[in-house]
């Protein structure tokens, strides 16, 4: 069984893979659409498909190989990962063929034409062979474009299965939220439909994303996400309201509004959310413990410190 540290590393690597995939999907889709109007240069695809880390498709392939390449297919999940890795590898190699076809058209063909004009008839047989190469290359271009487009669609569908399997990893849901526009463009069901598949309903998915934002102390973004979840919720909003109190309390602390912070965190404790979010309670208690150095040394400051100490005791007792 993998260690917790290994699991965390794997989750982090998958999030990076997800980011690379969304960038690659966006860029490759744009290239294919521009190819349909003959508006792509070899220079443009050279930046996208290459054999080093400057190429997003190369990075996607290498990241996938590092995570999923295996000769053992002991479970359905491993087989799905292996299939995705195979699809990414195929997509990379077909895209390299596309790059080569554009090279033949834009670099090789003009050079052949220039040499033919300069050489006269002395190497006509060789130029006949060059013409055959160029003709085959031109005929393959349309075929390769269709193959790349189909492979991109299949790779996306396979990756979607891996994303859904990681519904319990909040970092994945947060990444989908932070790249909502790219997700909408990549997946037929768009961001909302993907979260519904992962979490049962859209509001629950947003709450999971908000938890991940709170974990990283992005309280303003978490509050915005929770407000959207509240608008979308078709059932009880108790869990949303609970987390909202915590978010408001921690952001108020960062803003220096300590009275509001204490009131909001007090309400959060009263709602009982701390029982399921012990780490959040420990963080709040740690923040409140610093108030003595942050408020004025007067009656109002003393009252705030006293209220903070009482709340801190409650939080520490609940977080054991």
180-218 pLDDT tens trace:
999 999 999 999 999 999 999 999 999 999 999 999 999
The two structure tokens encoding residue 117: 């004009």
Q: What angle do CA 138, 144, 146 make, to 5 degrees?
A: 120
Query: Is residue 254 within 8 Å of 218, Cβ to Cβ?
Result: no
Total length of the chain:
320
Three-class SS state of 126:
helix
What proportion of the chain, given as a percentage, has pLDDT over 90? 52
The two structure tokens encoding residue 230: 């509240």
Q: What is the pLDDT of residue 79?
A: 87
Query: Is residue 144 within 8 Å of 101, Cβ to Cβ?
Result: yes
**Predicted confidence (pLDDT) at residue 153 exceeds the cutoff of 60:** yes
Average pLDDT over residues 41-50: 71
Which DSSP state fits 107?
I
Q: pLDDT category, 2, cuts 50, 70, 90?
A: very low
Three-class SS state of 269:
helix
> 255 — alpha (psi -120 to 50), left (phi > 0) or beta?
alpha
Q: What is the pLDDT of residue 8?
A: 42
pTM of the model: 0.82
For the segment 274-305, what is each residue's pLDDT rounded down to a tens digit? 556 788 988 999 999 998 888 888 888 899 99
Give 173's contacts (C-beta < 8 A, 6+ positions apart): 167, 195, 198, 199, 205, 208, 209, 212
Average pLDDT over residues 230-256: 90
Give 230's contacts (C-beta < 8 A, 6+ positions apart): 203, 237, 240, 241, 244
For the segment 102-144, what is each residue's pLDDT rounded down to a tens digit? 777 665 556 655 665 556 666 555 656 666 665 665 556 778 8
The two structure tokens encoding residue 199: 């979490």
Query: Is residue 28 within 8 Å of 40, Cβ to Cβ?
Result: no
Q: pLDDT category, 9, cuts 50, 70, 90?
A: very low
Give 80's contacts (C-beta < 8 A, 6+ positions apart): 158, 161, 162, 165
Give 290's contacts (C-beta < 8 A, 6+ positions apart): none
For the segment 217-241, what is each residue's pLDDT rounded down to a tens digit? 999 999 999 999 999 987 668 889 9
The two structure tokens encoding residue 171: 């970092």
**Predicted confidence (pLDDT) at residue 161 exceeds the cutoff of 90:** yes
Mean pLDDT of the chain: 84
Q: What is the pLDDT of residue 137?
A: 56
Average pLDDT over residues 1-5: 40
For the segment 57-74, what is each residue's pLDDT rounded down to a tens digit? 999 999 999 998 766 666
Please give the backbone phi and psi of residue 144, each rounded to the nearest 5 degrees, phi first.
-65, -40
Token pair 């359905």 is at which residue? 76
Which DSSP state fits 295?
S
Question: Taking the CA of residue 223 as centre, how many other CA atoms within 13 Å lie in the half-sphere pointing to its CB?
Answer: 12
Q: How far apart are the first and last CA of the chain?
A: 27
Domain ranges for the chain: 4-166, 167-233, 236-320
Query: Is residue 212 within 8 Å of 245, Cβ to Cβ?
Result: no
Question: Which span out of 20-29, 68-77, 89-98, 134-143 was modeled with the highest average pLDDT?
Answer: 20-29
Which DSSP state fits 320?
-
């Amino acid at each position: 069984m993998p260690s917790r540290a290994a699991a965390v590393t794997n989750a982090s690597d998958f999030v990076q893979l997800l980011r690379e995939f969304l960038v690659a999907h966006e860029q490759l889709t744009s290239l294919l659409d521009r190819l349909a109007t003959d508006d792509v240069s070899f220079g443009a695809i050279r930046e996208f498909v290459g054999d080093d880390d400057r190429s997003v498709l190369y990075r996607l392939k290498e990241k996938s190989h590092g995570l999923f390449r295996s000769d053992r297919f002991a479970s359905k999940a491993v087989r799905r990962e292996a299939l995705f890795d195979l699809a990414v590898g195929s997509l990379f190699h077909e895209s390299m063929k596309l790059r080569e076809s554009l090279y033949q058209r834009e670099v090789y063909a003009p050079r052949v034409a220039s040499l033919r004009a300069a050489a006269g008839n002395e190497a006509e047989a060789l130029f006949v062979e060059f013409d055959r190469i160029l003709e085959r290359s031109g005929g393959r271009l349309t075929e390769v474009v269709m193959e790349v487009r189909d492979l991109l669609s299949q790779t996306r569908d396979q990756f979607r299965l891996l994303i859904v399997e990681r519904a319990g990893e909040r970092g994945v849901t947060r990444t989908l939220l932070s790249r909502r526009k790219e997700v909408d463009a990549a997946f037929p069901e768009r961001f909302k439909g993907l979260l519904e598949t992962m979490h049962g309903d859209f509001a629950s998915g947003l709450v999971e994303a908000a938890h991940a934002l709170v974990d990283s102390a992005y309280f303003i973004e978490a509050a915005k996400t929770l407000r959207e979840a509240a608008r979308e919720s078709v059932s009880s909003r108790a869990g949303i309201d609970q987390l909202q109190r915590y978010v408001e309390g921690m952001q108020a602390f960062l803003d220096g509004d300590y009275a509001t912070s204490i009131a909001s965190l007090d309400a959060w404790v009263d709602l009982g959310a701390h029982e399921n979010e012990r780490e959040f309670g420990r963080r709040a208690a740690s923040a409140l413990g610093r108030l003595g150095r942050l408020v004025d040394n007067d009656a109002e400051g003393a009252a705030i410190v006293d209220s903070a100490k009482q709340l801190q005791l409650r939080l520490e007792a609940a977080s054991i």
